[in-house]
Structure 1
Amino acid sequence: MAADLLGYAGKRVVVMGCYSGTGEACARHLVDLGAEVHGADIKPSPVKGLASFTTVDLKDPEAIAAGVASIGGQMDALFNVSGLPQTFPGEDVVTVNFLGIRMWTETWLPQMRSGGAIVSVSSLAGMRYLMRQPLLKQFMELTDFADARSWYVANAEEAGDPYTLSKEALNTWTQQTAPMLMQRNIRINCTMPSPIDTPMLGEFRKVAGSAVLDAFAGAKGRFSTPDEQALPLILLNSDAASFISGTCLAVDAGLSGGLSTGVLDMERMMAGAAAR
């Protein structure tokens, strides 16, 4: 059996969202694994050893195209880790979290090598995506940013929370895209994290409240660390996961499974969190 099971040594990879949190941890580990790591974000990354860093605003289609062109060359793996919480305008949230990530990925696809892989960070907020397919279909059919943003504003009441909508769309797109990409021997997956102990956690607390947010830490008794989310991303894009594509992997210490099977009760967990 090969010593390098993950197989990143010498591979070219891009980490979108490497300024902080999970993306920063992901880029740092990939550098240590011997990959040629190209970073992108709206803010400069602190990660040492990057082959390049490119400033990209995922709300701007021209910036996305320019970012791909600036990095250039063939690529082995994409890591899509950027995202905005609901404290930003709803139309910006759906643009960055889904429209921008989708365009960024699709712009890279012609330069993806056979055997390549793509992974995106979704969220447990999007776990009910299969129940909202008719609405998601309307949203996802809009590829023009301005049209999609206008659709969200016009349908905000039915669409609901923009963060949830964006993650439901990301899950759906991942699974829709997987069979087509497999024809080119390219894999695509996403993860659905429970809350992560990063600066963004405070923004989610403003929206959801402490009782709801703390209940989501109930299965493990604490929030996830950035490393605990970064390493599954690295696994999914590695040679060790060569037969995994089209999956939406919950990285939540068993929370979603417990809720789905009734072993855990969210109302009880929220009450317990509120009482502490």
Structure 2
Amino acid sequence: MDFLGYRNKRVIVSGCFSGMGEATARQLLEQGAEVHGLDYKQTGLKLASFTQVDLRDPAAIDAAVAGIGGKVDALFNCAGLPQTAPPLDVMKVNYCGTRRVTEQVAKLMGEGGAIVSISSNGGMGFSRRIPTIMQLLQVPDYAAQVKWCEDNADTVREGYAFSKECIIVWTMLMSNQLIKKGIRINCTMPGPTQTPMMSHFEQATKASVLEAAMQPINRRSTPDEQAGPLLFLNSAAASYVNGVAMAVDGGFMGGIATGQIDPRSLMANAS
């Protein structure tokens, strides 16, 4: 049970109220970690501490992390908003807020620290927009990042896909910088997962597109199936894994890359 090495480690989980974040926090408790939670809603888990925080408020983020204090061994960025929320709120939570949490928690980490964020296979088109994404990534201040998003509404669009693309490229960018301090950073790209947020995806996305994204396994994942890879990436067992965007999608990305899944099946939602 101690293969992952979390016993007595101090960890922070943002988005611990439900879904993948709740599953992650619960599994970490089972592994013997000291878990500190951040979320907009109160968790039912018995954590070492819980702080209610709105990731749209950078001052609240700073205060929440400072309140935890001490040395932190691992950070799990699981908070997020779906594309049914206002686009600017989506960007604030999924990218700007996640980045702010990470920057503040990284100050509490030392050699051996690890960070993992949840992106999405909805961000798989990141490589086509790296020059544009890098423009935003080079903006250091939270307020200025939000202003960039406001000024580039045509790029941001509904916010969800672009925010997830940003997380992937930002992870790759920061992996080269943070590793100089002995800190690793990675992210996952989940496929469709049966969480409370799924109802929002169903509202905004055609059923045929969701079905296409479930190929070849032809079912949705569970939150626990997404939490396991998050725990692995931040564990001692993954000490040489850095800057990775890990697909956790039942083989979908593999099918796209090898031509076994037609990417045009995902475009029906755009019509």
TM-score for both structures, normalised by structure 2? 0.95
Question: Does structure 2 retain, via aligned residues, the 8 Å contact 1:124–1:194?
Answer: yes
State the AA in 2 paired with 1:42: Y
Q: In angstroms, what is the RMSD of aligned CA positions?
A: 1.7
- The one-character-per-residue Cα deviations of 1:196-218 (angstroms, maximum 9, x if unpaired) are 10111110111112111122112
Moved more, 220-229 or 128-137: 128-137
Equivalence for 1:35: 33
What is the distance in 2 between the residues matched to 1:71 and 1:45? 16
Q: How far apart are 1:257 and its partner, in Å?
A: 1.2
194, 199, 210: which one pairs with 1:197? 194
State the AA in 2 paired with 1:179: N
What is the distance in 1 between the residues matched to 2:257 and 2:101? 33
Moved more, 225-234 or 181-190: 181-190
Question: Does structure 2 retain, via aligned residues, the 8 Å contact 1:17–1:23?
Answer: yes
State the AA in 1 paired with 2:23: A
216, 219, 228: which one pairs with 1:222? 219
What is the distance in 1 between the residues matched to 2:72 and 2:163? 26
Distance 1:140 1:268, change over 3 A: closer
Unaligned segments of structure 2, at least 5 residues: none
State the AA in 2 paired with 1:55: Q
Equivalence for 2:92: 95
- The one-character-per-residue Cα deviations of 1:77-108 (angstroms, maximum 9, x if unpaired) are 00000000111110110110011111111011
Equivalence for 1:209: 206
What pairs with 1:248-259 in structure 2 (closer than 5 Å)? 248-259=245-256
How many residues are matched? 269
Distance 1:143 1:255, change over 3 A: same
Question: Does structure 1 retain, via aligned residues, the 8 Å contact 2:215–2:250?
Answer: no
Distance 1:61 1:268, change over 3 A: closer
State the AA in 1 paired with 2:99: R
SS in 2 for 1:34: coil
Unaligned segments of structure 1, at least 5 residues: none
TM-score for both structures, normalised by structure 1? 0.93
Equivalence for 1:65: 62
Equivalence for 1:162: 159
Question: Does structure 2 retain, via aligned residues, the 8 Å contact 1:214–1:270?
Answer: no
State the AA in 2 paired with 1:253: G
What is the distance in 1 between the residues matched to 2:137 and 2:172? 13
State the AA in 2 paired with 1:171: I
What is the distance in 1 between the residues matched to 2:144 and 2:185? 26
What pairs with 1:1-276 in structure 2 (closer than 5 Å)? 4-48=2-46, 50-267=47-264
